[in-house]
Every structure is written in C-alpha cells, then in structure tokens.
C-alpha cells in the first residue's frame, strides 16, 4: 500500500462550468470510479506570517513555493483526526508531506513556540518550516465540497471537482463549521487532475472535445486577493464618508457663522 502521507505529483487545474463538468463525468465513466470518501467537505486552516508573506510570495509565481495548513474532512471535533500538511511546489511538481493527530493536539502544537512535537522525518520537516518562518499564525479558513475519482487501472491518476469554495479570515477553527465568502461564480467548479507522469490520452481527448483549458488557480491566493479587495473597498468607502461628513460640517459651520 502506498504511503498516503507522502505525495509527489503534477497537479493541473481547470475552471469548468456545470455543463463541462457533466460532459467530463460522462467521459470518465468507463475509466474512473469514486474514491472511498465519495463526496466530502474539506476544511483547511492556512498558516502564514502576520503580513501574509507566504501567500504574497506565492502569488509572484516563483519556481519554488511552500505553505503550511491543517486539514479536516468535515467539521472536526477536538478528538477528530486532522492532518498537518506541508505542501511544496517546485516548477510543476507538487510535494505534500503530512502527519495526522487529534485536532486539539494539532492546534496546540501549531499555536505554541515549541518544536519536536510531531513524529518522524515528516514531523522534523514541519518543525524546520515553523522554525524558519518564525511567527506563523492561522490566517485563513477555506472549505469546499469535493468529489474525487481515481482511474480503475492506475490509482495514482486522480480527478477532483471542488465546488462551494468558501473563505473567512476570522473564527479560524476546524470545529466551527464550513461557512464564509464564496470564491467561484455560481455553477463553477475547480477541477484538478493529479498525475504522476503523463495524462491518459482518453482524458486529453475529453478535455479537447469540451474546450477545457488549464489555468493557474490557488484557493488561498484567491481568498487573499478577495480579502484585500474587500479591505480596500471598505477603506475607500470610509474615506468617502469622512469627506462627506467634513463637507457637511463645513457647510453647517458657514451657515451658522452667517
């Protein structure tokens, strides 16, 4: 059995409409089957430095980038198993390393300054990451509903569809449920193809026939951009209101003086 805590693969992303998704599902029917989780809600908390250094750096599209998150399948309870994940990308290859432990232990470990709390080589890598980026904090909650499939003749070839992608930058807990602001337009899904080497020719044909083209998309990156835009709009509205109040006060003062 493959180690499900270590992943090395290409991840190719596509934004698809509901019609394209249905067509792709028909094309996949004789080649792929649903994984053991079927449809599931995935919840994540992303950790970053106080001024969002990691995601700002990632959005610059460097050759190498990395992130730390904690993930649960469904809303967690304090004793639920969650995954502390270190995800790295070098050029087009994604490397993911993770360890599992109860939610309360994971969050206690990530909230503390102590290292050495996780087992094995992967634990040491996560410890090193936290030591290198000193001051990491929970910064963003992102959830989505996922439907996952794998090829019947090669379980390393996987396809996932994520919809109802939501984000929030408060109430950062895996135990508080999946809610927040949406990222995608209504009817859109994010499709990800995860493959160890070459994509099967039948899938290439399905994508070509349905005019589905790969895109660059980061859930955390898009959430950060939305958050920043909301903050700018809020500041702009506040500035307009302050100017309006100042103008009204000036008019009132002039009228009173006369």
Tens of pLDDT, residues 108-149 = 999 887 667 787 899 999 999 999 999 999 999 999 999 999
* Distance from C-alpha of 13 to C-alpha of 243, rounded to nearest angstrom: 45
Cα dihedral angle (191, 67, 124, 72), rounded to 10 degrees?
A: -50
- pLDDT digits 0-9 by tens, 33-56: 998 777 999 999 999 999 999 999
Q: List the beta strands (DSSP E) in the chain.
A: 6-16, 32-48, 64-73, 81-90, 93-102, 137-151, 154-168, 181-182, 189-195, 214-215
- pLDDT digits 0-9 by tens, 144-161: 999 999 999 988 899 999
* Distance from C-alpha of 124 to C-alpha of 109, rounded to nearest angstrom: 13
Checking DSSP bridges between strand 214-215 and strand 6-16, what pairing results, if any? Answer: antiparallel
The CA-to-CA distance between both ends of the chain, in Å, stands at 88
Domains of the chain (ranges, CATH numbers): 6-217 (3.20.100.30)
Q: What is the largest CA-CA distance in the chain?
A: 88
- pTM, whole model, 2 decimals? 0.87
Token digits of residue 122: 């992967």
């Amino acid at each position: 059995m493959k180690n499900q805590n270590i992943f090395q693969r290409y991840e190719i992303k596509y934004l698809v409409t509901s019609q394209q998704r249905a067509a792709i599902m028909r094309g996949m029917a004789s080649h792929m089957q649903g994984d053991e989780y079927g449809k599931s809600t995935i919840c994540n908390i992303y950790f970053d430095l106080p001024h969002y250094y990691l995601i700002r750096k990632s959005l610059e599209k460097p050759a190498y980038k990395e992130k730390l998150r904690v993930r649960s399948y469904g809303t967690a309870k304090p004793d639920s198993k969650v995954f502390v994940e270190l995800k790295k990308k070098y050029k087009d290859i994604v490397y993911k390393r993770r360890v599992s432990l109860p939610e309360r232990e994971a969050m206690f470990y990530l909230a503390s300054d102590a290292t050495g709390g996780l087992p094995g080589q992967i634990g040491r890598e996560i410890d090193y990451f936290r030591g290198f980026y000193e001051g990491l904090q929970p910064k963003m909650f992102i959830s989505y509903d996922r439907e996952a499939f794998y090829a019947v003749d090669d379980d390393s070839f996987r396809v996932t569809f994520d919809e109802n992608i939501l984000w929030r930058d408060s109430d950062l807990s895996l135990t508080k449920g999946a809610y927040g602001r949406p990222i995608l337009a209504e009817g859109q899904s994010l499709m990800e193809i995860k493959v160890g080497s070459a994509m099967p020719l039948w899938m290439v044909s399905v994508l070509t026939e349905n005019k589905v083209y790969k895109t660059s998309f980061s859930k955390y990156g898009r959430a950060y951009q939305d958050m920043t835009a909301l903050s700018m709009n809020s500041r702009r509205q506040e500035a307009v209101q302050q100017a309006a109040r100042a103008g009204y006060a000036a008019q009132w003062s002039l009228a009173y003086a006369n």
